[in-house]
């Protein structure tokens, strides 16, 4: 059980970026000025204590990665630097600020007002930030810059004679970068190899990908991410949803569109599309959300999208995350299974739990990122979790529905800000401020109600469609087929505005046992040609069991049921069935699962993500597996590790020894050489399985006594199955 509260944070990947900079270069780089730039040098900073803290805190996801220390100053146009008047009456002010031995340096301003025609730059030999102009002025008079490599930077303010004395610039803090921001955070290509470039899903997720944003927070020393989110008036108010633990502040810097332009090859992205400053509108800790309003509306050149959302408290049937794992270019992750209601590493109802990502994962660098449901609407933001490329662990997302209005305080809820007119809107589609470019573009979003494993002989698929065109979608042909045996067509009609979503339940289809592929595609939106064929189709593969044999699993969890999971492997070692996931509830839960199997041997694997099982300090758990005759075929009450394996076989005639003397195995335990003694007078088959369900020995036999040599097999538990004409009898043997 994960008894520590771990928070998954974001550390961003950046080389250099401006705050909607407007080009050009500092005056002093093009013209020779007479006077030398005065230097303000801060005292030497002893960073050893900070480094010692980092050795500890870097091990925990609940503490964001720190690269710099904020140092207070008070430097302005009047008390520092030097003014130089040019022949035409214009003036230039310059100041060099040095923080000795810093690896990077950046600045926060508590007074920043640039009059029309004036420009401001921050630069050194490595880099130039700017020009910043009157367009960068904020109502709160605050400003901040991104890090610049090196331990010094020159601040230069150019002021035309026509606006003499109207500007104000005051630096109130300097960030001393004591860890290599550019090496650590310019993490292009550093995320796990299971991650998928976001652009690979552009056909279906292009709009939501454009919503994702990275932000630099907390005195510009820590990092998180979020998403631009729509409001009910759809007026383009630039709200960003992120995580509360990120510590949103007014001097945050927000960066858009850092992503690879190629799917297969990981190519570095742009880092120049940023906005400096925000106003924190609402935050709350139970669901770990923060809503901020950007200081500026993203310009049209950023091509952003305001994501839709749902405040309905119903578990999504699938989920998608868009984020920057390990500071890499933007990635996308998918969970094809329903989400689980949970607390944060505890019992509760304020989070959604992703049990295991089917593709991709999250890492440090993903915190605060949005979680979308099957209809492409935000339902939460990443709080934390243990998921990584090398495991099947979980993530926790603060619930959007819980954040909506659980707390009546308007500074602790989303509703007051996203639905300012109190319309009671439960769902909101996305909004494109630049307008939709295609007139007719119908999207087949997903196929549901076709699980990976179908118990029975029929499926009733549900198709979800979305309108990506500017014209209202009023008609559409939905085509579908099973195993390429012939296309059926259903004619849909309705009224979907841009980004509107609808679902269609198809007729029931009957299927035999085995592997199948179901495919669907849409055509003729509004009785015309679809202008984008890349998002018209979807397919899903599944296995069906039309003649099942059932077993029953009785599971009692401890207080941390969210860490408990199980799966059934077939004889080839493939996962045949897996658990749906359980919530963490004080006192545990009593769960009954009906397992849809067939006559064969399987392996039940019980797992605990924290590695200490369900025994005993946090409530006592137990597991019992019962066959179709009511016989217990596996049980455990002292599970105290990360996994436990139970091989078993099942048949329509049962699996227990039908008589005590049906057959004997000796010696048991054995070194691998043992004898089977049977009282059966007829020919019978012997099959021996390892713990993964693989057959390691198989041979017909007509002797009452036979000797078997498995000394070449690895040590462990094996199942010996004796199969006669009428029944199957299974016993365990231990090779040591």
Rg, the chain, Cα only: 31
Beta strands in 557-678 (DSSP E): 564-569, 575-578, 590-597, 600-608, 622-626, 632-636, 643-650, 663-666, 673-678
CA separation for the pair 281, 14 (Å, rounded): 26
DSSP-derived pairing of the beta strands 462-467 and 501-505: antiparallel
Please name the residues in contact with 59: beta carbons below 8 A apart, sequence gap of 6 or more. Answer: none
pLDDT tens digits along 655-678: 433 333 457 888 988 999 999 887
What is the tens place of the pLDDT at every residue in 235-246? Answer: 999 999 999 988
Question: Containing H/E element for 203?
Answer: helix 202-209
Q: Which of 367, 401, 498, 584 is catalytic?
A: 367
- Residue 702 has what pLDDT? 77
The predicted pLDDT at position 724 comes to 65
Question: How far is residue 214 CA from its own chain's centroid?
Answer: 14
Residue 249, SS3 per DSSP: coil
Report whether the peptide linkage leading into residue 339 is cis, meaning its omega lies within 30 degrees of zero.
no
Measured CA to CA, the distance from residue 50 to residue 178 in angstroms comes to 9
The predicted structure's pLDDT at residue 220: 55
Could you give the CA distance from residue 130 to residue 112 in angstroms, rounded to a whole number?
A: 14
The alpha carbon torsion through 52, 54, 56, 62 (nearest 10 deg) reads: 150
Residues contacting residue 37 through CB under 8 Å, at least 6 positions apart: 28, 81, 82, 94, 95, 96, 154
pLDDT of residue 660: 30
Catalytic residue among 90, 284, 288, 350: 288
Count CA within 13 A, CB hemisphere, residue 505. 4
Predicted pLDDT at 190: 62
Contact status, residue 305 vs residue 182, Cβ threshold 8 Å: no
The domains of the chain, with CATH numbers, are 45-161+171-185 (2.60.120), 196-428 (2.40.10.10), 442-511+518-528 (2.60.40.10), 549-650 (2.60.40), 663-735 (2.60.40.3080)
The single residue of 173, 201, 245, 287 carrying the catalytic annotation is 245
Side-chain-side CA neighbours of 165 within 13 Å: the count stands at 0
Would you state the pLDDT for residue 682? 64
Q: Choose among 246, 190, 166, 172: nearest CA to 213.
A: 246
The pLDDT score that the predictor gives to residue 86 is 95
Full 3-state SS string of 492-548: EEEEECCCCEEEEECCCEECCCEEEEEEEEEECHHHCCCCCHHHCEEEEEEEEECCC
The yes-or-no answer on residue 245 being catalytic is yes
- 222-229, strands of its sheet edge to edge: 274-276, 253-256, 212-217, 222-229, 239-243, 289-294, 278-284
Residues 52 and 59: their CA atoms lie apart, in Å, by 12
**pLDDT value at residue 145:** 87
Phi, psi of 164 (to 5 degrees): -55, 130
- The answer to whether 288 is a known catalytic residue is yes
Count other Cβ atoms within 10 Å, centred on residue 435.
Answer: 8
**Dihedral Cα 200, 206, 210, 215, nearest 10 deg:** -40
CB 474 within 8 A of CB 462: no
Question: Which residues of the chain carry a pLDDT beneath 50?
Answer: 1-18, 61, 184-187, 654-661
Question: What does the pLDDT read at residue 635?
Answer: 80
Q: Is 183 helix (H, G, I), strand (E, B) or coil?
A: helix
């Amino acid at each position: 059980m994960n008894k520590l509260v771990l928070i998954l944070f974001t550390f961003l990947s950046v080389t250099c970026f401006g705050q909607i900079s407007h080009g050009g270069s500092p005056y002093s780089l093009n013209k020779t000025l007479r006077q030398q730039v005065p230097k303000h040098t801060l005292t030497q900073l002893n960073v050893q204590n900070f480094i010692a803290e980092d050795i500890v805190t870097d091990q925990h996801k609940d503490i964001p990665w720190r690269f710099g220390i904020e140092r207070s100053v008070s430097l302005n146009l009047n008390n520092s630097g030097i003014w130089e008047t040019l022949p035409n009456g214009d003036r230039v002010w310059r100041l060099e600020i040095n923080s000795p031995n810093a690896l990077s340096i950046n600045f926060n301003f508590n007074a920043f007002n640039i009059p029309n025609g004036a420009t401001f730059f921050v630069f050194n030999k490595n880099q130039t930030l700017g020009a910043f102009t009157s367009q960068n002025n904020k109502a709160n008079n605050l400003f901040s810059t991104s890090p610049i490599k090196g331990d010094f930077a020159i601040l230069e303010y150019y002021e035309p004679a026509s606006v003499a004395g109207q500007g104000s610039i005051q630096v109130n803090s300097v960030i001393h970068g004591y860890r290599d921001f550019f090496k650590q955070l310019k993490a292009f290509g550093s995320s796990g190899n299971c991650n998928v470039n976001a652009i690979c899903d552009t056909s279906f997720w292009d709009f939501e990908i454009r919503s994702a944003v990275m932000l630099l927070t907390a005195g510009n020393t820590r990092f998180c991410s979020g998403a631009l989110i729509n409001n009910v008036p759809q007026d383009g108010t630039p709200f960003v949803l992120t995580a509360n633990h990120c510590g949103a502040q007014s001097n945050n810097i927000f960066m858009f569109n850092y992503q690879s332009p190629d799917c297969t090859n990981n190519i570095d992205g742009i880092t120049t599309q940023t906005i400096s400053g925000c106003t924190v509108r609402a935050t709350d800790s139970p669901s770990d959300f923060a809503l901020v309003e950007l200081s500026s509306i993203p310009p049209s050149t950023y091509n952003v999208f305001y994501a839709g959302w749902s405040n309905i408290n119903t578990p999504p049937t699938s989920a998608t995350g868009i984020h920057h794992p390990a500071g890499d270019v933007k990635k996308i992750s998918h969970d094809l299974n329903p989400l689980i209601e949970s607390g944060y590493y505890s019992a509760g109802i304020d989070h959604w739990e992703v049990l295991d990502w089917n593709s991709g994962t999250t890492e440090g660098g993903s915190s605060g990122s949005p979680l979308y449901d099957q209809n492409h609407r935000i339902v939460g933001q990443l709080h934390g979790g243990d998921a990584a490329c090398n495991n099947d662990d979980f993530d926790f997302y603060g619930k959007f529905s819980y954040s909506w209005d659980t707390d009546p305080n308007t500074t602790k809820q989303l509703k007051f800000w996203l639905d300012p007119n109190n319309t009671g809107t439960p769902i909101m589609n996305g909004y494109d401020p630049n307008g939709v470019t295609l007139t007719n573009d119908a999207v087949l979003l997903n196929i549901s109600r076709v699980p990976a494993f179908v118990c029975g002989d029929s499926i009733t698929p549900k198709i979800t469609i979305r309108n990506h065109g500017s014209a209202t979608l009023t008609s559409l042909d939905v085509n579908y087929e099973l195993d390429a045996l012939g296309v059926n067509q259903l004619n849909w009609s309705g009224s979907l505005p841009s980004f509107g979503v609808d679902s269609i339940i198809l007729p029931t289809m009957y299927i035999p046992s085995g592997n199948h592929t179901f495919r669907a595609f849409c055509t003729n939106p509004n009785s015309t040609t679809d202008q984008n064929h890349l998002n018209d189709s979807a397919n899903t593969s599944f296995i069906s069991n039309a003649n099942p044999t059932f077993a029953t699993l009785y599971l009692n969890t401890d207080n941390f049921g969210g860490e408990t999971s199980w799966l059934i492997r077939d004889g080839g070692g493939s996962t045949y069935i897996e658990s749906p996931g359980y919530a963490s509830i004080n006192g545990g839960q009593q769960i009954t699962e009906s397992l849809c199997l067939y006559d064969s041997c399987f392996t039940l694997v019980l797992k605990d993500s924290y590695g200490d099982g369900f025994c005993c300090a946090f409530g006592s758990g137990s597991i019992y597996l019962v066959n179709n005759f009511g016989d217990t075929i596996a049980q455990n009450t002292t599970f105290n590790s990360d996994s436990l394996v139970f091989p078993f076989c099942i048949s329509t005639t049962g699996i227990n020894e039908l008589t005590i003397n049906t057959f004997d195995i000796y010696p048991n335990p054995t070194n691998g050489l043992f004898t089977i003694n049977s009282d059966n007078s007829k020919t019978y088959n012997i099959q021996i399985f390892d713990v993964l369900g693989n057959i390691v020995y198989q041979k017909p036999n007509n002797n009452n006594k036979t000797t078997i040599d498995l000394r070449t097999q690895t040590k462990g538990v094996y199942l010996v199955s004796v199969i006669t004409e009428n029944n199957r009898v299974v016993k365990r043997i231990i090779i040591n």
